[in-house]
Amino acid sequence: MRLIFLKINTYYRKVNKLFSPQKTVQTQSQLSKSDIFGVLQNNRRRLVLELLRNQGGQSVRSLSEEIAHVESQAEEPKRSVRKSIYVSLLQTHIPKMENLGIITYNKEKDTVELLQASQDFDIYLETVNKGDIPWSQFYLGLSILAFISSLIVFIGVINWISSYKWMFFTNGLFMVASIAYRRHSRKLEK
């Protein structure tokens, strides 16, 4: 009986190996926080992610030119700067990101495209425009405002509104803010 079990187990492993795809790169579920922060700690890799996220797949040459514009802050960066960035992208940054399953590099076309795992980085790459505040600060401010105003209504300083009506109003504010945040998050997911 034990011999039959071992043969079935061996056969199952062989069949499973045949039909399971060989994984050479990490998948989205395998990306650890250290992998994510390892990618984000380098400015060029962050720029690659942002450019591909905003503009879609493109050639390594155009990526290197745009990164050269950002790094040199010149209208027309020197050829040596562009070449240096191009080489560093090909030799260091693109292979690292490809091995992690974040991007795919087509050597024949010299193009780079984002993969599904790149969505793990969206929350870290979310930018806050000048004059805007991050959602965490917004919710903190809303919570403080709701707490202080609820305390004032509860104590009776403001008696033209009942505490129940005020409770529904503040809950409504949090619901509207949560819906706005969810819609914003869905835009990032796309």
Q: What tokens were used for 42?
A: 């380098």
Contacts of 44 (CB under 8 A, 6+ apart): 67, 85, 88, 89, 93
Average pLDDT over residues 29-48: 84
pLDDT of residue 1: 45
Residue 119 has pLDDT above 80, yes or no: no
pLDDT of residue 189: 58
Q: What is the pLDDT of residues 153-182, one digit of tens each?
A: 888 888 888 888 888 898 999 999 999 888
DSSP annotation of 120? G
